Homo-oligomer: A and B are copies of this chain.
Amino acid sequence: MAAEAENVAKQVEELQVNGAAPVEEEEADTVTPWEVTTTRATGIDYDKLIVRFGCRKLDDETIARFEKVTGHRACPMLRRGMFFAHRDFNAILDRKEQGKPFFLYTGRGASSGSLHLGHLVPFIFTKWLQEVFDVPLIIQMTDDEKFLWKDMKVDDAKKMARENMKDIISVGFDPEKTFIFSNLDYMCAPFYENVVKVWKVVNTNQARAIFGFTPEDCLGKAAFPAVEAAPCFASSFPQIFGKRNDIPCLIPCAIDQDPYFRMTRDVAPRLKAAKPSLIFSTFLPALQGAQTKMNASEPNTCIYLDDTPKQIKNKINKYAFSGGQQTVEEHRAKGGNCDVDISYQFLRFFMEDDEKLLEIREKYTKGEILSGELKAMATEVVQKIVAEMQERRKTVNDETVDVFTKVRPLAYKY
């Protein structure tokens, strides 16, 4: 990128951090860590979001570079634009190319006993990145956040985090290279020191501009963002990285988490720490349509990882919004609309075969495939993913969780 364009982008980013340039438009999508909604059946306008948040589009050139540097073909989610934007992803590719260390960091705020398919998206992608990059991975469970935001007891928040860890471990992470922790269990001096350092360089006005907190919000809401920021700094994990703070991380996450890391990137230089890089996913839409994402608190919007094959089939048949026509005759004549069809969106996220996906798209658009048939295909793909998760889940118990949460060095070459 030309130096000038880099500069402009930097300025936009700084403005965003300082909350000076929120785009006000009547139809603006709402994308915050606590709410994701749009009025469009096609879902969030991600191109507009890139401009608003001041991040970069993950373009073909960058994906090509990723493939060249890693020697791996981009996974479906990457090549199909489910991971669509980034901040400084090239800095991570530089380090990979130069053999310099970095790590992956992602997280989850446990708000239900079982994960749903939407939660799975960043974890499936992160697991793949862990294999491709061969680096340590840090997974933060924000049980403190859930306790602060929800009407929930500490013990329930902790329990939920632990149950969610079992689902996350079932994605297949390498125990030699993965440290999973919950804030309420791991909080320790090196971690707290980074929290305090972030607290010192962000004021209440700025936090309000970034996150929208009000004076009526509890103190914890203002204090918490520093706790989500701290794992970006390697020194929060001395058992893994020693005292080094020059090892950056790459954060694969849904775009709604960006405010936390805009703030973190802004403060990192003042902490003499490496800035985190980010790679952002779109949202897996709710069954009812792409106006919202799957929401664990509304069971009918989600496929849960503990749903039975029958439940999955029923939910997709009953709730998955269809882009097809009212009658078979009309559908055959006019064709369906993949861009709003949730079954098709599920296939986009989870079907491996590009050619088959393209064929489905073409045939559905022409009306050669009926909505029921498309739903059956989506059901099959989702059932397979869930079944595989459930199979691995059977091997995960409290002892497995103890392996991943033990404070220990990871297999890691400097």
Contacts and interface: CB of A to CB of B under 8 A. Distances in A.
Given A144-B196, A148-B196, A148-B200, A207 B219 contact: yes
Given A223-B222, A223-B223, A154 B197 contact: yes
Nearest to A271: B154
B218 A201 contact: yes
A377 to B, nearest CB: 46
Interface stretch (A74-82, A113-121, A179-187): A179-187
Contact of A226 (B187, B203, B219): B219
A197 B218 CA distance: 10
Given A204-B204, A213-B204, A223-B223, A218 B189 contact: no
A71 interface: no
Interface string A185-219: 11111011100111111111101100001111111
Given A184-B189, A186-B189, A223 B204 contact: no
Interface in A239-266: none
Given A204-B219, A220-B200, A187 B184 contact: no
A103 interface: no
Contacts of A183: 192
A208 B222 CA distance: 13
A147 interface: yes
Given A148-B199, A154-B197, A187-B187, A204 B192 contact: no
A144 B195 CA distance: 10
Nearest to A143: B196
A216 B193 contact: no
A189 B191 CA distance: 11
A106 B143 CA distance: 30
B217 A204 contact: yes
A148 to B, nearest CB: 5
Interface of A: 144, 147-148, 154, 183-189, 191-193, 196-205, 207-208, 213-220, 222-223, 225-226
A68 B167 CA distance: 61
Contacts of A219: 198-199, 202-204, 207, 222-223, 225-226
B193 A218 contact: no
A216 B205 CA distance: 6
A193 B182 CA distance: 12
Given A147-B196, A192-B184, A193-B154, A202 B218 contact: yes
Contacts of A213: 204
Nearest to A213: B204
- Return the 9 tightest CB-CB contacts between A and B, nearest first: A199-B220, A187-B192, A223-B223, A205-B215, A204-B215, A199-B219, A144-B196, A187-B189, A203-B218
Contact of A223 (B197, B199, B205, B208): B199
Contacts of A207: 219
A216 B203 contact: yes
Contacts of A208: 215
Contacts of A201: 218
Contacts of A196: 144, 147-148, 154, 184, 220
